[in-house]
Amino acid sequence: MADLKGKVLAGKILVQPQEAEKKTASGIIIPDSAKEKPQIGKVVLVGADKKDEPMQLKAGDTVFYGKYSGTELNIDGIDYLLMSQTDVLYII
């Protein structure tokens, strides 16, 4: 994980998505045009608790999130997603 300067606001998290699969289990190479957006990533930064919603995630957690969740950001050449804690579907 990169050393990021800054912070996220209460109830928000910054996630670094995993790379999309380049080939299937049987060895078929997937072209860029057919790759799906990854829905799993690692939490990099977490915001503070909200008044009515405690933060249940911590940096380093691996999470599944909705297909169209979050806002895409590029910080220092690395792609991230900024999303609400409630967009997370499952914590691994």
Q: Which residue has the tokens 């300067």?
A: 5
Give the confidence band of 6 by pLDDT, cuts at 50, 70, 90: confident
- With a cut of 80, say whether residue 8 has pLDDT above it: yes
Rounded to the nearest angstrom, the gap between the alpha carbon of residue 57 and the centroid of all alpha carbons in its chain is 12
Task: State pTM to two decimals.
Answer: 0.83
Domains of the chain, CATH where assigned: 12-91 (2.30.33.40)
Say how far apart CA 46 and CA 34 lie, in whole Å. Answer: 32
- List pLDDT tens digits, range 33-86: 766 777 999 999 999 999 899 999 999 999 999 988 999 999 989 999 999 999
pLDDT recorded at residue 12:
96
